[in-house]
């Protein structure tokens, strides 16, 4: 294992750690059977897609739409809305959370001048919105990768995302001396597929559809971040195999399924952290047990 590979894996392990804080100190300490009332902000798109074919299958003979940028914006808006719905559904099914209706959150967001396509909201804005909808916490998520991803995620992807999906591992050629070099992927089903650099984004071919979600849970009491986490998924092969054969190569479907897997991962991480915090809070509230003679 070369020095670059060791560094990449170390970077991945550090990046994968979830940030956290003691929730009860920030006004999030319900007593069961009460639940944490959480507002899920519409997912914000934070990745630049330059060509429609990066997110949707386009035939060789199909001409780009007259307004390709508008088509891309619409595709990404639908993708972000779908991820928002997946996260809301996951949290609503949790033992720990009660989700503020999406319509109420969007109405409050518009009234506060927030929009999923604009800059990230400030802590003060998030705190204010949470109070308006009666939430104890607000979940803020951005879509940082969708077919194309930001350059800083390269090492994470090589060390973690691909390793998860490919038992054979990843072969990296000349990346140390040339960060724009092609990266080959070793896998039975994708032996002829390659990943390429284009416009500063790491693009996969037909078989891999990377999605990155970055989330943070913010207290509506003081605007402090009580949890933060990231999900990077390179594919959702199990779900893709369940599709009809004629649909398995469609990039838009593969990305949608990968995004759903990433949303489920975010919910699992929040659920796990909620359990830890509420369990610890309950233990702190419990009266001391008498010592046995």
Does residue 215 contact residue 228 with C-beta atoms inside 8 Å?
A: yes
Decide the pairing of beta strands 44-45 and 137-146: parallel
CATH number at 3-284 = 3.40.50.10610
Q: Is the pLDDT of residue 41 over 90?
A: yes
pLDDT of residue 233: 85
| pLDDT score recorded for residue 82 | 97
- Segment among 82-86, 126-130, 193-197 with least mean pLDDT: 193-197
pLDDT: is 292 or 133 the higher one?
133
Q: Is 266 or 121 the better-scoring residue by pLDDT?
A: 266
pTM summary value: 0.73
What is the rounded CA–CA span in Å between residue 49 and residue 46?
10
Length of the chain, please? 293
Computed from CA positions of residues 254, 162, 275, 132, in that sequence, does the dihedral angle turn out positive or negative? negative
- Residues 70-79 have a mean pLDDT of 92
Element (H, E) at 262: helix 251-285
* Confidence band of 263 (pLDDT split at 50, 70, 90): very high
Q: How far apart are CA 85 and CA 42, in angstroms?
A: 9
**pLDDT recorded at residue 30:** 64
Give φ, ψ of 256 to 5 degrees: -60, -45
Domain boundaries, the chain: 3-284
What is the phi/psi pair of residue 231, to 5°?
-125, 125
Greater model confidence, 56 or 287:
56
Q: State the sign of the Cα–Cα–Cα–Cα dihedral 158, 160, 162, 168.
A: positive
């Amino acid at each position: 294992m070369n020095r670059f590979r060791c560094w990449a894996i170390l970077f991945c392990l550090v990046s994968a750690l979830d940030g956290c804080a003691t929730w009860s100190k920030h006004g999030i300490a319900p007593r069961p059977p009460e639940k944490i009332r959480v507002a899920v902000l519409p997912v914000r798109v934070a990745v630049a897609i330059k060509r429609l074919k990066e997110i949707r299958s386009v035939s060789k003979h199909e001409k780009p739409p007259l307004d390709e940028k508008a088509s891309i914006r619409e595709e990404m808006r639908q993708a972000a809305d779908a991820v928002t719905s997946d996260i809301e559904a996951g949290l609503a099914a949790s033992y720990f959370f009660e989700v503020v209706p999406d319509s109420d959150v969007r109405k409050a967001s518009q009234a506060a001048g927030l929009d999923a396509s604009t800059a990230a909201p400030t802590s003060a804005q998030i705190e204010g919105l949470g109070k308006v909808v009666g939430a104890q916490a607000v979940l803020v998520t951005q879509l940082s990768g969708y077919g194309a991803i930001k350059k800083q995620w390269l090492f994470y992807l090589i060390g973690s995302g691909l390793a998860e999906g490919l038992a054979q591992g990843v072969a990296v050629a000349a990346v140390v001396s040339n960060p724009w070099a092609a990266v080959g992927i070793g896998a039975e089903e994708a032996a002829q597929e390659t990943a390429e650099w284009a416009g500063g984004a790491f693009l996969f071919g037909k078989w891999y559809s990377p999605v990155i979600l970055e989330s943070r849970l913010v207290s509506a009491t003081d605007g402090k971040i009580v949890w933060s986490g990231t999900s990077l998924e390179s594919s959702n092969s199990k779900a893709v195999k369940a599709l009809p054969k004629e649909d398995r190569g469609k990039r838009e479907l593969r990305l949608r399924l990968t995004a759903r897997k990433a949303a489920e991962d975010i919910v699992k991480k929040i659920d796990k952290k909620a359990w830890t915090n509420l369990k610890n809070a309950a233990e702190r509230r419990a009266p001391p047990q008498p010592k046995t003679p």
